[in-house]
Amino acid sequence: MSGQSTLQKSQDSSASVLMEASGITKIFGELRANDAVDLSIREGEIHALLGENGAGKSTLVKILFGSLQADGGQLFWRGQPVINRSPSEARALGIGMVFQHFSLFEALTVAENIALSFDSDAPLQDTAERARELSNTYGLPLDPYAVVGDLSVGERQRVEIIRCLMQDPALIILDEPTSVLTPQEADTLFETLFRLRDEGRSVLYISHRLEEVQRLCTRATIMRHGKVVDACDPRGETAGSLASKMVGANIGEVVQRDVKTGERKTLLQVENLKLAFNNPFAVELKNINMSVSGGEILGIAGIAGNGQGELFAALSGEELCDDAQAVQIAGQAVGQVDISGRRLIGAAFVPEERLGHGAVPTMALSDNLYLARHASDGDTLRSGGRLKIILRNAVEKLSAKVCEMMDVRKSAPNPPAGALSGGNLQKFIMGRELERNPVVLVVNQPTWGVDAGAAAHIRQSLIDLAAKGSAVVMISQDLDELFEISDRICVIADGHLSQPIRASELTREQIGLMMASSGGFSHLEAA
């Protein structure tokens, strides 16, 4: 089937409906996560499901995939009512899903990971050869005997997709599939999706990257506050108009700061940083050098798993260096100073993982704020007596201030961190650090999985902080984000860090090639 004929088919309202959700409702306490949601997915189409964080997308697809049960409404498969009581029932029906966060055992091979998802006694060799055959057929080459811990993030996503395809699904649900890919890897994925579409399979595509939605999808269903608020052909929209439909208002443009020329004080200096880790799957840092001045945003690009987390740990003090001079903040050698000590001299840190690393899910927002700021703000958040009693009123007042500053939307005055949507929790964690006006801020993946409105708010906050004279290091896999707010950009690959280059002198293609390299950056000159 040609791409053109499939496109015509997906535009035709008479095309067969593969799956339909009618009046789907799901209630958690007082929250209606899905409120009478209607959705229809036709055969042979790539259909976008859009919405800001907390709109109800994840709840809906979990119901489609059998991970959750609806409180009301009905699902139909090829016109027949169905109930998916579990993911295994959904897979048997013909529904596959590739989650944003991979579920792979790093110590096992590709074939072993795939075999674990089947209720079959087939020999492992048969599974491996079938996986190899499918991966070659769909342009996603894999070695089935490779250990997953040795694979790049892009290759791991291929494992998830091939594992899904081995179940021969008629409907594939993809959740933020390009968030960990280079531009070149994303293009390869798109070709695979077009091929699946041409075979008559359907794809439900969830993404905050609206340019991708316009490129791939012929229909989009848009959710807001648990309800379907619009449906459209994204090719007839702009990224801005799609974002406005998602949030119910126009998305403000990020306002760039005036970059002052002349000499600026270096606030973060990293010299010949070398760091090995006990974790066998961690990436060794190799001769890392960088310098960040006040008023500057230094962007660090890279495919996940190339040392970003390890670099963040070294800069934050979660991992200490042998050489105290390897990391210097505001002129002080801190290579052997822990995270509390670095906070005391004005540094702030926002990790990649929101729940578990950035916040304790079961603890209230105010308690999470205290955990992060007890060292730097102890005089205002604790009594001055010998017992050092926490001043609950002061902590809760500061937490409320952060929520107001960052427009954190919550269902109670001081809920557990785990009760917030991903985007709102990210805004809280960012605000918790930004409210201090730190001298140096290091943030890892500031807008990963965050909707357009929250992303714009966070990026503007980083720009405003730099405008006040702070030094900002932003580790990100989002190239649009890096180009939008960075002054200079480095690339991290296999534990090596390239020399910084002015963002205005780089292209997405150059960055993509560097991200896929292994320290081979010498052909590009530093700014």
pLDDT bin (cut points 50, 70, 90) of residue 9 is very low
Q: pLDDT grade, residue 3 (50/70/90)?
A: very low
Residue 60 has pLDDT above 70, yes or no: yes
Tokens linked to 409: 């939307």
Token reading at 175: 């959740």
Q: Alpha-carbon distance 527 to 473, whole Å? A: 17
Q: What's the mean per-residue pLDDT of the chain?
A: 89
| Stretch 407-419: mean pLDDT | 89
Cβ atoms 435, 262 nearer than 8 A: no
Categorize the per-residue pLDDT at 526 as very low, low, confident or very high, splitting at 50, 70 and 90.
very low
Name the token pair of 139: 């342009």
Q: Provide CB contacts within 8 A for 361, sequence distance 6+.
A: 355, 416, 417, 418
The residue-averaged pLDDT of 303-315 equals 90
The whole-number pLDDT of residue 6 equals 38
Residue 4 has pLDDT above 50, yes or no: no
Residue written as token pair 């960040």: 292
What pLDDT does residue 312 have? 96
pLDDT of 63 strictly over 60 = yes
What was the pLDDT predicted at 5?
Answer: 36
Q: What is residue 263's predicted lDDT score, i.e. its pLDDT?
A: 67
Residue 297 scores a pLDDT above 60: yes
The mean per-residue pLDDT over the stretch 396-414 comes to 92
What average pLDDT does range 382-396 have in this prediction? 84
Over residues 229-277, the pLDDT tens digits come to: 999 999 999 988 998 898 887 666 677 766 555 568 999 999 999 999 8
In angstroms, the Cα distances linking 220 to 267, 473, 487 are 46, 35, 35
334 pLDDT above the threshold of 60: yes
Per-residue HEC secondary structure of 153-193 comes to HHHHHHHHHHHHHCCCCCEEEEECCCCCCCHHHHHHHHHHH
Is the CB of residue 184 less than 8 Å from the CB of residue 512?
yes
Backbone angles phi, psi at 284, to 5 degrees: -75, 135
> Going from the N-terminus, what domains does the chain have, and what CATH number goes with each?
284-515 (3.40.50.300)
Q: What is the mean pLDDT of residues 414-425?
A: 88
What is the 3-class SS of 123-159, one letter each residue? Answer: CHHHHHHHHHHHHHHCCCCCCCCCEHHHCCHHHHHHH
pTM beyond cutoff 0.85: no
Residue 246 tokens, joined: 């998602």
In the predicted model, is pLDDT for residue 147 greater than 80?
Answer: yes
Predicted confidence at residue 345, as pLDDT, reads 95
Instruction: Provide, rounded to the nearest whole percent, the portion of the chain with pLDDT above 70.
Output: 92
Determine the average pLDDT of the residues in 174-192. Answer: 84
Q: What is the pLDDT of residues 430-447, one digit of tens each?
A: 999 999 999 999 999 998
- pLDDT level of residue 522 (50, 70, 90 thresholds): low
pLDDT recorded at residue 261: 53
Which are the contacts of 380, defined by CB distance < 8 A and separation ≥ 6? Answer: 391, 394
Q: What are the structure tokens assigned to 342, written together?
A: 């670095």
Q: Which residue has the higher pLDDT, 82 or 511?
A: 82
Task: Note the pLDDT of residue 222.
Answer: 96
Residue 499, burial from CB neighbour count under 10 angstroms (0-12, 13-18, 19+): middle
Q: Is 429 within 8 Å of 354 (Cβ atoms)? A: yes
pLDDT for 491 equals 95
DSSP string, 389-402: -B-HHHHHHHHHHH
Lowest mean pLDDT among 6-10, 225-229, 331-335, 405-409: 6-10
What is the predicted pLDDT for the residue at 7?
37
Provide mean pLDDT across the span 319-348: 96
* Distance set, CA 101 to CA 97, 113, 175, 211, 217 (Å): 11, 15, 9, 22, 23
Q: What is the pLDDT of residues 346-388, one digit of tens each?
A: 999 999 888 889 999 999 999 999 999 998 888 889 887 666 7
